[in-house]
Amino acid sequence: MSLREKLSGTIAPLFTPFTDSGDVDHESLRRMVRWQHANGSTGISIGGSTGEPSSQTIAERAEAIRTISEEIQGTGLSFVPGTGSAKLNETLELTAAAQEVGVDAALIITPYYARPTQEALYQWYATVAREFPDLPLIAYNVPSRTAVEMAPETFARLYRDFDNIVGIKETTKDFEHFSRTMYACGSDVLMWSGIELLCLPLLSLGGVGFISALSNIAPKAVAETYNAGVANDWDRARDLHYGVHPLVDLLFVETNPAPAKWLMAQRGLISSAHVRSPLIELTEAGQEKVLALAESASAYLTDVNI
């Protein structure tokens, strides 16, 4: 199976479940992986923005990667953990831990807070690529979180220069940016949208799948949307796309992933709605909004059947 085939489909970017006391809840994490597999997701990611990576130690993130790696054995799920950090040494350490357990690719966020130049971004990714020549790497462009945007030309340069830089997760609402990146790289590049309502449109430009936080509450609907799109059943795909709009709004009632965690704790998938500081758990006002949005699109929520 080619890498494109392996990574095509719906890769669920999991939130990291915690216990009420704030420890990583590995039992809930395993249950989440089984639930994703049972409801159509074709891959798993963790450690992206939804996973609260900046509130965890590298050791905690590495242990979560090992837990998922064990849980997906024999399932056919792909595994693309986020292994980036604001620090290069931490990025290299966590990427090495991911490579050790045999992940399919590593998702590397642009270094946040420092606001590096485009040349600095090139050098950052080039360093990681040289360190792991046999590991497929996916850049993660999310300027709303990092305060820096990778230009299409910068990523295209990396894509041309390093065989192991294979794709990019674009989390920007500027859809022209998607098109310019695809144009600069060519149709072989692997591209995903991290903006929920741009996942389906990206298929028309040559995207290979969805990496959508919506999978944390509605993996079946996300998978069915992708499957309908690639089957050219656009009426069904659009029905699903518009049907889940309230659930997308639900995810961002307050800072992601607090709303999704609260809902899935209520639904019994995870043991606690705990989020780590500086985030706070969903407020009472937020809970009311989440319940109303969930009720308005209840047909698209996935049953907890694990």
What are the residue numbers of the active site? Answer: 140, 169
Q: Which residue's structure tokens are 């989390």? A: 171
- Sign of dihedral through CA atoms 97, 102, 103, 109? positive
Measured in degrees and rounded to the nearest 5, phi and psi for residue 210 equal: -115, 135
Name the residue among 22, 64, 72 with its Cα closest to residue 44: 72
Q: What type of residue sits at position 125?
A: Y
For residue 123, the tally of other CB atoms under 10 A from its CB is 12
* Peptide bond before residue 257 is cis, with ω within 30 degrees of 0: yes
Amino acid, res. 226: Y
Q: Which two tokens stand for residue 291?
A: 């319940």
Residues 6+ apart with CB under 8 A from 244: 196, 214, 218, 221, 222, 225, 297, 300
Q: In one letter, which amino acid is 18?
A: F
d(CA 158, CA 164): 10
Cβ 35 vs Cβ 44: under 8 Å: no
